[in-house]
Structure 1
C-alpha cells in the first residue's frame, strides 16, 4: 500500500494549525504557589494537558487522564506498544518578547508563541501523524500511545506519577529535539551551591537575583547595592556604564541616595547549550566583584566572577570532562539568589555530562574550587543518567530511513545535552521536530516554529509511526 503522506497532511494543515494556536494560548508555566490536589503543577500545565486530551476525545481515540499529572491518547491492538511522548508545560516566557507570548502570531511563515517549538508545535505534528493513520484505518500490529506530560521542564514529576500507574511502552520517541534523530542524551543533574550571607565591607550587597529555571541561561539580572554616600553611588553607576560599553551586554542603573540598583541584560538560551547564551548574572557578578565587598557578599561575587563566569565547560570549576562519542560536559548557572535578610545565598549549577564522569566527580570538583567560600552542596533529586540507543537498533534504523526518504538527506546519529522524554524508555529516542540548519529559539524570547517545518514534520511522523506499528 502506497500512501501519499504529504497529501494527507496538506488536507489537514488548517485544522492542525488551528488546534496548535488554541493550545498555545494556554499559559502552561509551572506555578508551585498555585498547586492544588487537582493541579499538581499549577493550573496552566493542568489546563494544557486537559486541552490536549480533549483533542483525543474529539477524534475518537481511547483517552486516559492520570489524575491531571499526565495522560495518554491511544489506539490500535497488539502485544507491543509504540510510545510517543510530548509535553504541554513550558518554561516561563521571561522578558524580551516582541509580541504577547500567549497570543500566537504568524509572521514570515513562522508561528511565534511560548511552546511553539518546545513542545506544543512538535507534539501537535506528531499527534496529527497518529490521527492520519487512524482516519485512514490502516492495519496495525501494535498499539500506539501518545503520552502527554505536564512537568517536563521542571522535575518530571508527571512521568514519575504516570508510570506508577501505567506500564511503559516497549519503544518509542519524543518529538522534542532535532532531526535526523537524537539517540543519545547526556546525564543531567543540578547542584545547588549554598553560601553564607553577610556584609562586612564598605559596599553592601542588599540583593542579587537572576534566573527563571535551572535549564535556562539567565537573560537578565538585578542587584541592589548600598554605599557610604551619594558620591560613591555616582562613581559606581559611572563604572557600570563603562563596563557595559566594554562587554557584550546592555543594562542600566538607577540611584536613590546611597543605593544603586543595577539591571543587566544578556541573552537567554536553553540550559543545554549555555555556550550560545550570554549569562547576565555572571557578567553582573564580574562587575561587582571589583569593588570592596566583604564577608559572604564577597564570597558570593568572587565565586561567580572567578569560577562560574564563562565556564560553560566546567574548566574553572574542575568538573570538565569529554567523551569521544558524547562530547563535552556543559554547565549552566541558571539561578542566583542573594538576599541580605536571609542566612544563605543560592546558586544553581546545571550539568549535562557524558558517560565516563559522574555526579560524585562533579561534586569533588566543586568542593576543590568553591570550598574556600564555605559552601554546602545539594544535588537535586531528579538526576538523569547518560542514555544511548545504538545506531543499529531497528528503531533508530527505521526512523533514519523515514527521514532520508522524505528529505533526501543522509541520516546520522546525534547526542545532545538536552534531556527529553525519549530517555524514559530503554529503546527510546528523540526525533525532530527541528531540521538541520534551524534557528533554535527554545527557552528564548520570541520562540517560533516555521510552518513549513511543522507540516513537513507531520509528514515524517505519520510515515514513521506507521512503519513502526504496522
Structure 2
C-alpha cells in the first residue's frame, strides 16, 4: 500500500487549477429544489447541476449514467456486477439576505472557500470525484468497480433515491461525504412535527401579526410580533436545526416577552415558555432521553405562526438510537394542553451499522494516519443518504469541532480541509479497490 500511495500534494498541484475551475462552475449553478418540469423531477436547478457534473465526468474519462433524471454517476474500474459506491448531492438549500459573499459564486479568501454548497455538498462530492481522477490519471489498476453518484434531492427528503433503486442495484458498500469525520456508524432518529391549538375564545385578536424567517432546516434569527398595535422585532443568530446550542434562537425571547397575553392564547405562550422555549434537551417535557452512543435528545423550536383561528408551533427532535419515535410521541402528548393536535411533517427512524465492517475499520485507520486524529466511529444528529441507500455510511466532510456551517449565510470550507478530505478519500479508494497481492 505504501508503495502505491504517492506524493498526494504533488499530484493535486498538477491538477489544482482545473479542479478550482470546475468547483467554481458548479457553485455558480443555483441548484435549489424547484417545481417538477420535463426531465427534471426536482426542478431545473438540480437538473442543470447534474448535467454539468455528468459532462465533466465524461471529460475526465469516466463512464457515466443516470436513473430517473435525478441520480447520475461516474464509474471507473472493471465492469463487475458489484460496486463500491460514493453518494453525495448537488441540490442546495435556498439563500436569504445573510451573506457577505455572493452565494452562487466561489470565493477563496484567506484560506477559506465561501459559497452555497461549498460544504453541503458540492465541494466534498467533487473531492471524491477528483480523488478518483488522480487514481485514474496514475493508471492504477482497480480490481473492483467504483461508482460516484450524484443525487439531486437530499435537502428535501431524498426522494431521488427510490428512482435510483427502481432501476439500479445498491452498492455492496460505500459512504456519503455529507456529514462529519470520523466514520459515522449511527444516525439518530428524527421527528419533525407541528402542534396546533385552536383558539375559540377570541383571544387571538390580541396578536395583530406574527411573522418571521422560519424553516425546519435552521433555528430562526428574525421574528416580529405586533400585539395590540405595538410591534416588537427580534434579532438573533441562525444555526442549523441539528445545532440548536449554537443559535441565538429568537423564539424563546419572543415567547417570554409575551407572558401577559390572556385567554387561550396566553395559556399557549405560557406553556411554550415553561415546556419548550429555553432548553434544548426536552427535559421540561420529560423527553431528556440519552444513551451512551448518542448522548442527549436534541430539541429545536423553529416555528411559531398565527392562523385564522389557531396558533401553530413546530419543533424537531433528534433522539438517541436506542429510543423509538413511539416513546417520544407518547411522552410529548402527555404534556399537551387540552385540544392540542399534532401533525408529523418528517419522520426518520434511527439507523445503525456494524462498526466492525472491514472497510469501516480500514477507513478509520487511514483517517487516523492521514490526520493524526482519533478515528473511532461515532454517531450523528444529522440526516444523510445513509438512511435511504442500502450499505452506505456517512464519512466526512466536517472535521471535529466544525459545527453549524451549512444552511446559513457565508457557508464555508477551509481550502486545507478540502485538500485533506481529498487525500483521505484517495487513500481509502486505493485501500478498498486495489489488489495488493
User: Normalising by structure 1, what TM-score?
Assistant: 0.85
Which position in structure 1 is the counterpart of 2:321?
Answer: 355
Is the 2:161–2:389 contact (alpha carbons within 8 Å) kept by the matching residues of 1? no
1:42 aligns with 2:43: yes
Structure 2: runs of 5 or more not aligned: none
Which position in structure 2 is the counterpart of 1:111?
Answer: 113
- Alpha-carbon separation, structure 2, partners of 1:46 and 1:195: 40
Q: Which stretch shifts more, 407-416 or 208-217?
A: 208-217
Aligned CA distance change for structure 1 residues 63 and 300 (closer, same or farther; 3 Å): farther
Per the TM alignment, residue 69 of structure 1 is displaced from its structure 2 partner at its CA by 2.4
- Alpha-carbon separation, structure 2, partners of 1:379 and 1:408: 43
Which position in structure 2 is the counterpart of 1:331?
Answer: 299
Aligned CA distance change for structure 1 residues 164 and 194 (closer, same or farther; 3 Å): farther
Which position in structure 2 is the counterpart of 1:459?
Answer: 423
1:409 aligns with 2:379: no
Q: Which secondary structure does the structure 2 equivalent of 1:383 belong to? A: strand
Q: Which secondary structure does the structure 1 equivalent of 2:64 belong to? A: strand
Q: Which secondary structure does the structure 2 equivalent of 1:164 belong to? A: helix
Matched ranges for 1:37-436 at <5 A: 37-77=38-78, 78-197=80-199, 200-201=202-203, 204-225=206-227, 227=228, 259-288=229-258, 290-295=259-264, 297-339=265-307, 342-370=308-336, 372-380=337-345, 382-436=346-400
Q: Which secondary structure does the structure 1 equivalent of 2:164 belong to? A: helix
Which position in structure 2 is the counterpart of 1:252?
Answer: none
Q: Which secondary structure does the structure 2 equivalent of 1:443 belong to? A: coil
Q: Deviation string for 1:263-300 (max 9, x for gaps)?
A: 31221112112122122223222222x233433x3354
Aligned CA distance change for structure 1 residues 172 and 202 (closer, same or farther; 3 Å): closer
Per the TM alignment, residue 58 of structure 1 is displaced from its structure 2 partner at its CA by 2.1
Q: Deviation string for 1:143-184 (max 9, x for gaps)?
A: 111111112112111113222222111111111122222222
Per the TM alignment, residue 262 of structure 1 is displaced from its structure 2 partner at its CA by 3.1
- Alpha-carbon separation, structure 2, partners of 1:27 and 1:418: 23
Is the 2:180–2:400 contact (alpha carbons within 8 Å) kept by the matching residues of 1? yes
Per the TM alignment, residue 398 of structure 1 is displaced from its structure 2 partner at its CA by 1.1
Q: Which secondary structure does the structure 1 equivalent of 2:283 belong to? A: coil
Per the TM alignment, residue 72 of structure 1 is displaced from its structure 2 partner at its CA by 1.8
Count of aligned pairs: 430
Q: Which stretch shifts more, 119-128 or 423-432?
A: 423-432
Aligned CA distance change for structure 1 residues 26 and 444 (closer, same or farther; 3 Å): same
Which position in structure 2 is the counterpart of 1:251?
Answer: none
Is the 1:81–1:143 contact (alpha carbons within 8 Å) kept by the matching residues of 2? yes
Structure 1: runs of 5 or more not aligned: 228-258
- Alpha-carbon separation, structure 2, partners of 1:15 and 1:117: 19
Aligned CA distance change for structure 1 residues 429 and 111 (closer, same or farther; 3 Å): same
- Alpha-carbon separation, structure 2, partners of 1:6 and 1:336: 50
User: Normalising by structure 2, what TM-score?
Assistant: 0.91
- Alpha-carbon separation, structure 1, partners of 2:297 and 2:226: 33
Is the 1:197–1:338 contact (alpha carbons within 8 Å) kept by the matching residues of 2? no
Per the TM alignment, residue 89 of structure 1 is displaced from its structure 2 partner at its CA by 1.5
Is the 1:183–1:391 contact (alpha carbons within 8 Å) kept by the matching residues of 2? yes
RMSD over aligned Cα atoms: 2.2
Q: Which stretch shifts more, 22-31 or 423-432?
A: 423-432
- Alpha-carbon separation, structure 1, partners of 2:16 and 2:329: 49
Aligned CA distance change for structure 1 residues 317 and 222 (closer, same or farther; 3 Å): same
Q: Which secondary structure does the structure 1 equivalent of 2:98 belong to? A: coil
- Alpha-carbon separation, structure 1, partners of 2:128 and 2:27: 16
Per the TM alignment, residue 413 of structure 1 is displaced from its structure 2 partner at its CA by 1.6
Q: Which secondary structure does the structure 2 equivalent of 1:181 belong to? A: strand
- Alpha-carbon separation, structure 2, partners of 1:35 and 1:416: 32
Q: Which stretch shifts more, 185-194 or 452-461?
A: 185-194
